[in-house]
Structures are given as C-alpha cells and as structure tokens.
C-alpha cells in the first residue's frame, strides 16, 4: 500500500456507516462476497472528480450498518463491470448513472436509457462538472424500445404518461391476452427535474429545503435523511429533543399516508364509503398539522440542527387525544374491510410477490415487509429515539394486496403507539441548534425509514461547505421493477389496485 489514507473509515453521525475505497478490479468479487453474506444494494451513483476523472459509488446495507464503496475509475475510461447480475436493482441504477454522468456498466443486461427521453443529447451528460445545467436545444423525443410479446391473441395496451386519475406521470405498456397481463414494461423519468444538478453549490440549509421536495409525500423522511448527512459532516449532534420531534413527525407522515392509501385501496375495489371514511380521518389529521406547525404536510419542519417548532404541553395533549380517536376509528374500519367478502375477494392473491421472488429481486420497505423481507431501519439500525421505543416490525408472508393492506394497518397502530410514546417521554431542552458550527468539507450519509421504505442520502460538501455532490435515493427506485412482476398473470382492471398497494413515488425515482 502506497497510500497513507486508511482503507476503511467510519463516518461520524447517527447512521452507522463506513466508507472505503475499492479498485475497479476488485469490485465484482467484493460485491459477490457481500451478496453471499446477505448484503443488499441500497444505491449506486457516480461523481465527477474533475479532469476526466470519475468515481463510482455504491451503498450496501450490511449487518449493522451501511458500507459506502468508492470506486475510482481510470481517467478517460469511465466504465466498470456491470453488477445487475449480482444485485437485481442495479439494472436501472446503472442506466440512470449512465444517462446523467456517462459511466458505462460493461456487460450489463440492458442498454436502454432510463432517465433520458430527449431533454439532452445522447453524448452529453448533465451531471458532469463541465455542463452548466442549462437547457439543451430541443430534441425529438426518442421512441423507447419497449419489450414486445408476440403470439396469437397478444395485444398491447399503452397507458400514460397522463393517466386517468390524479396521479404522477409514467408510461406503462401492458402485453395482454384477453384481460390477463402477460408482461408489463414501464418507462419512467417523465418527472425528471434535474434535482442533483440543481443541488450543486447550494448551501446546506437550502439543500434541506430542496430535499423535502424530492417526493412530497415523504418530505419529513427526505429532509431528515439529508439533515443527517449534513450534521454528520459538521460533526455535531442535534439536541435530543429535536431527534424525538423528528421521529414524531416521521410517524405522523407515515400515519397520514397510510390512511390516504387505505382509502384509495377501498376506492379501487368500489367501496366508496370506505374511501370517504378514511379520507375524513386523513383530512382531520392534516388539519391538526396545520394548527400545530402551520403546514398540512409538515414541509420544512426538519431544519439543519433540529426542527422548526418545539411543541407546547397543550400541543402534546391534543396529539394524544387525536391518537386515541384515530385508534378507535381505524379499528372499526379494519373490521369493516375484514368482514366485507367483496373487498377480501379483490385483495387476496392479487398482485402477489412471493418471499423468494422478493428476496431475489431485493424488494424492501413496506412492500418488502408484506413479502416476508424483515427489514425496517427503525428496528434493524435504530437511532434515537427508535432504540428506546422498541419498534415492533409488521410483516406478512403472502405478498399480495391483502398482505400489504395488513402491513399498513399494523403500521398505523404502531405509529399511533410510537407517537404516544414519544410524547410521554419527550426530553426537555432546545429543539434547534442555537448557532451553526463552522461549515467544512467532508462526506456524510443519511438513512431514514420513510413510510414507503428507506430513504438514503449521500452527500459531499466542498471547502466552503457548499454542496459538491448530493445523491438522494428513494426506495421507489428499487421497488418499481418488482411491480412488473407483481402484475403478471393478473387481470388489467386489477392493475390500479396493485399499483396503489405499493404506491411508489414517480418523482422520488425520477430525480
């Protein structure tokens, strides 16, 4: 070894994480070994190190924490051996990294673009430092080479990007025989907003504001993960009360999203009364947020060094009272759904992802837990205050819509318990730094279990504390491909139901 830098270094901060430099030649062997030991790929991205030097980065979830592998690529040869045969979710990550930065995965199973539709030319890469981030001359939208299925009676149904309902844009290409889906091919990237380029040279406080808008329904998770990364670089902990309040808001976010989705899961099987009853509850909870902090979805509540608002004793009492009401009401609605034969008939065995398939393809988050993938950061890598609260993980093994509904109900009740626990044991003291520590260069990570699943953030700050590279990863990136498997063999009218049971983020994956 000629270098004096340690090969593995522990990153400071609340997330247990280690960064190490790995040579391009050793990458595949290391990944194969790690995979055998049960490691999972959380994210894959690249960075421009200047003068035609590029680094590839991987984040692996391993026993007890996160391994961040940094792979320097040789100058003028930004390529690396493909890893999609080791980690299934590497497929789209590799393609996205190529579209944005021009790093090529040699030997990858797929060469189709992923995020680039025609907003920039095939030989230009917006995330490179030489690119100014401004608009390229308007190009023809390239036709996306969809996978086609041929045979007698097979026809295609194209759907999107503008859908029939109030949802985000994406294109779905169904190959069907009669009503049955043989194959689904998805094209996403319609909401690509260039957030990673936008983040460059922002100050950390501005970055956290942006991070809360990667996926609006996960604003607390996104902003918290980015705040964790900044705070780990600055090397200073946030006040304990702030950590507890952040967790409180994360659980409230989980609660309102689950209530809304359960409503839509009633709507999609024609039970409009269930929809109205769940949405009446959700709306009440949103108004509580507005009266407590002035924002219905808790945007900008997570700040660098703490939270925007401390809670008064009276606020805490009103939250406690609301928890009791919600618990009673949601139990009644759960009974209602369970006793409704028509609803159960639509839920059971629909959109099934078996535990074996889930393990092979790397399904995580709420959908993963419904297919026996027992991973929840609040349990697997608990930070303050989750360690104290001893979260009970919800899991099911059936992997169908019914299982995902059951996990959501369990998580609603667990969130209600946690909210009450956090309020009862809320430490006193400040809930925000009184002054910022001096900004400095460095790398840090954030990792938070949002309502949909994990939100990961890798961050590098430059010498004046401005953002050099920020890469957020929503769990949707890894879970979207598995939806294509979940719908196989189901009938087309069940697609909205299956899709809603996952409710993945388009904006979160498109970036």
Contact positions toward other proteins, by CB under 8 A? 117-120, 126, 131, 133-136, 138, 141, 161-162, 164-169, 189-195, 197-198, 209-210, 213-217, 219, 260, 271, 273-274, 276-277, 279-280, 282-283, 286, 290, 296-297, 299, 332-333, 335-336, 339-340, 505-507, 510
Cβ proximity to other proteins: between 9 and 340 the closer is: 340
Q: How far is the CB of 475 from other proteins (least distance, A)?
A: 15
Cβ proximity to other proteins: between 166 and 313 the closer is: 166
With beta carbons less than 8 A apart as the criterion, state whether 75 and 52 touch.
yes
Cβ proximity to other proteins: between 13 and 274 the closer is: 274
Q: How far does CA 100 lie from the centroid of its chain?
A: 19
Q: How far is the CB of 462 from other proteins (least distance, A)?
A: 20
Distance CA 370, CA 407 (A): 6
Cβ proximity to other proteins: between 326 and 353 the closer is: 326
Distance CA 323, CA 417 (A): 8
Q: What DSSP assignment string belongs to 20-74?
A: EE--TTTHHHHHHHHHHTT-EEEEEEEEEEETTEEEEEEEEEETTEEEEEEEEEP
Q: How far is the CB of 224 from other proteins (least distance, A)?
A: 16
Q: How far is the CB of 210 from other proteins (least distance, A)?
A: 6
Distance CA 133, CA 127 (A): 8
Cβ proximity to other proteins: between 57 and 116 the closer is: 116
Q: How far is the CB of 397 from other proteins (least distance, A)?
A: 28
Q: How far is the CB of 169 from other proteins (least distance, A)?
A: 5
Cβ proximity to other proteins: between 20 and 300 the closer is: 300
Closest CA to 458 of 228, 245, 260, 296: 228
Phi, then psi, of 41 in degrees rounded to 5? -85, 120
Query: Which residue, chain included where needed, has tokens 């998805």?
Result: 186
Cβ proximity to other proteins: between 124 and 360 the closer is: 124
Give 173's contacts (C-beta < 8 A, 6+ positions apart): 146, 147, 156, 157, 158, 159, 184, 185, 186, 187
Count CA atoms closer than 13 A to 433's CA, side-chain side. Answer: 16
Closest CA to 293 of 279, 313, 307: 307
Q: How far is the CB of 251 from other proteins (least distance, A)?
A: 18
Q: How far is the CB of 79 from other proteins (least distance, A)?
A: 24
DSSP 432: B
Cβ proximity to other proteins: between 276 and 464 the closer is: 276
Distance CA 218, CA 261 (A): 14
């Amino acid at each position: 070894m000629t270098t004096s830098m340690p090969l593995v270094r522990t990153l400071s901060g609340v997330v247990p994480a280690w960064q190490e430099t790995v040579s391009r030649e050793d990458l595949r062997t290391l990944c194969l070994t790690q995979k055998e030991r049960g490691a999972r790929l959380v994210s894959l991205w690249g960075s421009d190190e200047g003068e035609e030097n590029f680094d590839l980065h991987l984040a692996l979830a391993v026993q007890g924490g996160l391994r961040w592998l940094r792979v320097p690529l040789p100058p003028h040869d930004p390529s690396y051996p493909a890893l999609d045969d080791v980690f299934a979710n590497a497929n789209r990550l590799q393609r996205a990294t190529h579209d944005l930065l021009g790093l090529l995965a040699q030997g990858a199973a797929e060469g189709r673009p992923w995020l680039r539709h025609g907003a920039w030319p095939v030989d230009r890469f917006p995330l490179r430092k030489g690119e100014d981030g401004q608009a390229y001359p308007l190009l023809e939208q390239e036709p996306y080479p969809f996978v086609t299925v041929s045979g007698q009676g097979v026809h295609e149904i194209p759907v999107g990007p503008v859908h029939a309902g109030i949802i985000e844009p994406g294109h779905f290409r169904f190959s069907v025989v009669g009503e049955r889906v043989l194959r689904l091919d998805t094209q996403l990237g319609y909401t690509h907003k260039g957030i990673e380029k936008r983040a460059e040279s922002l100050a950390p406080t501005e970055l956290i504001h942006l991070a809360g808008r990667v996926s609006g329904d996960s604003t607390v998770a996104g902003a918290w993960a980015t705040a964790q990364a900044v705070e780990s670089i600055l090397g200073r902990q946030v006040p304990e009360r702030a950590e507890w309040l952040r967790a409180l808001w994360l659980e409230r976010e989980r609660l309102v999203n689950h209530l809304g989705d359960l409503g839509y899961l009633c709507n999609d099987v024609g039970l409009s009364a269930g929809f109205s009853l769940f949405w009446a509850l959700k709306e009440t909870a949103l108004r509580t947020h507005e009266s407590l902090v002035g924002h219905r979805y808790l945007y900008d509540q997570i700040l660098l060094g703490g939270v925007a608002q401390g809670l008064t004793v009276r606020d805490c009492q009103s939250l406690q009272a609301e928890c009791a009401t919600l618990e009673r009401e949601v139990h009644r609605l759960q009974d209602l759904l369970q006793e409704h034969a028509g609803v159960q008939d639509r839920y059971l065995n629909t959109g099934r992802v078996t535990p074996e398939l889930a393990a092979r393809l790397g399904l995580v988050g709420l959908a993963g837990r419904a297919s026996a993938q027992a991973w929840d950061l609040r349990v697997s890598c608990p930070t303050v205050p989750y360690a104290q609260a001893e979260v009970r993980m919800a899991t099911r093994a059936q992997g169908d819509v019914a299982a995902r509904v059951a996990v959501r109900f369990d998580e609603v009740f667990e969130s209600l318990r946690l909210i009450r626990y956090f309020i009862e044991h809320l430490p006193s003291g400040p809930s925000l730094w009184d002054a910022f520590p001096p900004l400095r260069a460095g790398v840090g990570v954030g990792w938070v279990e949002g309502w949909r699943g994990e939100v990961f953030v890798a961050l590098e700050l430059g010498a004046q504390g401005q953002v050099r590279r920020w890469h957020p990863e929503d769990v949707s990136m890894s879970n979207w491909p598995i939806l294509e498997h979940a719908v196989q063999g189901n009938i087309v009218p069940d697609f909205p139901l299956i899709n809603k049971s996952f409710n993945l983020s388009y904006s979160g994956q498109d970036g």
